[in-house]
Amino acid sequence: FHCVFVLASHPIPAEIQHVGNCPIDCASIYYNGVRRSGLYTVVPLLASMPVEVYCDMDTDGGGWTVIQRRVDGSVSFDRSWREYRDGFGDLHSEFWLGNNHIHELSTQGDYSLRIDLEDWSIQHKHALYQSFSVEDEEHQYRLHVSGFSGTVQDSFGWYHDKQHFSTPDTGNICAEISHGGWWYNQCFYANLNGVYYRVRRGSLGPDGIVWYSWKDSDYYSLRKVSMMIRPRSFHTRLSP
């Protein structure tokens, strides 16, 4: 059979890509000759159903499957376990892809994670983790992340590795006071699913979008963040 995926813009362009095998992620779509960022349909190897994803074909060579994005506070991240499991938001703007999808994508091979961070001075930094995967729901979407490098100090891997995912409705106090789902420890040094504040610091405490080491300050709430994954073996190609 053939998979068909199109760039989901308005109007949908005439160009339609047909590939012999379903793309399992955005890197597969890249290898099929597509170089435009946008919405595509993929079918992870472990999945029974297709999933629509946003592919970043521009950052550091492209081929990234975006699993989270915050840009303007248009979507609340104070959500239930079920919503974090299944995904929510708008793939064009703010969203959480869904823990089931993140599990299926990140365990079908060896994946890396890239986190991009931007503050209110439009200063941009990133963190890269060579190894990233999330276990299934039975194991509470336990996080495995390691191999840090980047232009910012690590506030995520060293503290959140091996933690289970929690949401405000699971009884986890960290999730309750942070108003979002995350791989909390006691409680966090990074939380990219906190409350979106349009000011430098969250007025009600440490519940913003936080990367603890950002400005040698504790709870500075960031302006834009995103999380995306790509096979560790990915190599850019000059032509399809």
pTM of the predicted structure, to 2 decimals:
0.89
Residue 53 lies in a domain: yes
Number of domains forming the structure of the chain: 1
Residue 58, Cβ density class (10 Å: 0-12 exposed, 13-18 middle, ≥19 buried):
exposed
Residue 211 has pLDDT above 50, yes or no: yes
pLDDT tens readout for residues 114-172: 999 999 889 999 999 999 999 999 999 999 999 999 999 999 999 999 999 999 999 99
Residue 75's domain comprises: 3-231
Q: How confident is the model at residue 207 (pLDDT cuts 50, 70, 90)?
A: confident
Residue 238 lies in a domain: no
Q: What six digits make up the tokens of 81? A: 């376990």
Residue 81 lies in a domain: yes
C-beta of residue 87 within 8 angstroms of C-beta of residue 96: yes
| pLDDT above 70 as % of the chain | 85
Which CATH number does the domain housing residue 118 bear? 3.90.215.10
Residue 236 lies in a domain: no
Q: What six digits make up the tokens of 58? A: 């521009």
